[in-house]
Structure 1
C-alpha cells in the first residue's frame, strides 16, 4: 500500500476543496490542519468556512467539514453523512 504523508494529505485536500468550492459557494475555505487525524486507511483533513468561524452561525458552515484522503492514492472525497467518520473509515479499510 502506498503511503501519503500528513503534508501531502493537506495539499491534496486543499486542491480538492479548491475545485469543489470554486463555483461561487460564497464561502472562504479555511484549512484546519491541527484538527486533522490519521486512520490506518486515510487522513481526515478538517476545514471550515471563515464566515462560520467569524460568526458561529451554522448556516454559514459547510454541511460536511472533513475531507477523506485515502493513503492508497485514491481521490480525496467527502465521507457519507449517514455514518460516523470512524465507522466509514473502518468500512473502507475492510474493503466494504
Structure 2
C-alpha cells in the first residue's frame, strides 16, 4: 500500500520528470486534495502562474494524478468517466471498458 505522503511524492515526480519537465519549477502540489480509493490515491496539482494570476489559460488541462496502490506508474486520471467512477472501475478490474460497452 502507498501512503498519502508517498502518493504526493510519486505524483510530483511524475509531473516533474514525465508530464511537465519543462515546467517543473511551476508545479504546486496540493496534498490537502489527496483522496484514497481502493485502487490508489488521487492527488491534485496546479501551476504557480495559475495560482498567482487566476488566469484559467495557465491552469493544467487535467489536474488529477492517479497513484496506484500496486506502485505501478502514476498517471493522469481520464477526463471521462468522473474520477470516482474511474477509480472504482480500476479497482473492479473493469478498466479499460470492453468495446461496445
Same fold (TM over 0.5): yes
Is this contact kept in 2: 1:27–1:60, CA < 8 A? Answer: no
Q: Give 5+ residue unaligned stretches, structure 2.
A: 95-101
Say which SS state the counterpart of residue 74 (structure 1) adopts: coil
Say which SS state the counterpart of residue 36 (structure 1) adopts: strand
The structural deviation recorded for 1:26 is 8.7
CA RMSD of aligned residues (A): 1.5
Q: What is the aligned length? A: 93
**Could you list the runs of 4 or more consecutive aligned residues of structure 1 that deviate by over 6 angstroms after TM superposition?**
none
Report the equivalent of 2:64. Answer: 66
The structural deviation recorded for 1:41 is 1.2
Structure having the larger proportion of residues in strand: 2
Q: TM-score, normalised by structure 1?
A: 0.90
5 Å-filtered alignment, 1:73-84, equals 73-84=71-82
Measured in 2, the distance between the counterparts of 1:57 and 1:27 equals 18
Is this contact kept in 2: 1:27–1:51, CA < 8 A? Answer: no
Answer 1 or 2: higher relative contact order, Cα 8 Å, separation at least 6. Answer: 1
Report the equivalent of 2:20. Answer: 21
Is this contact kept in 2: 1:6–1:43, CA < 8 A? Answer: yes
Higher radius of gyration, 1 or 2 = 2
Report the equivalent of 1:30. Answer: 28
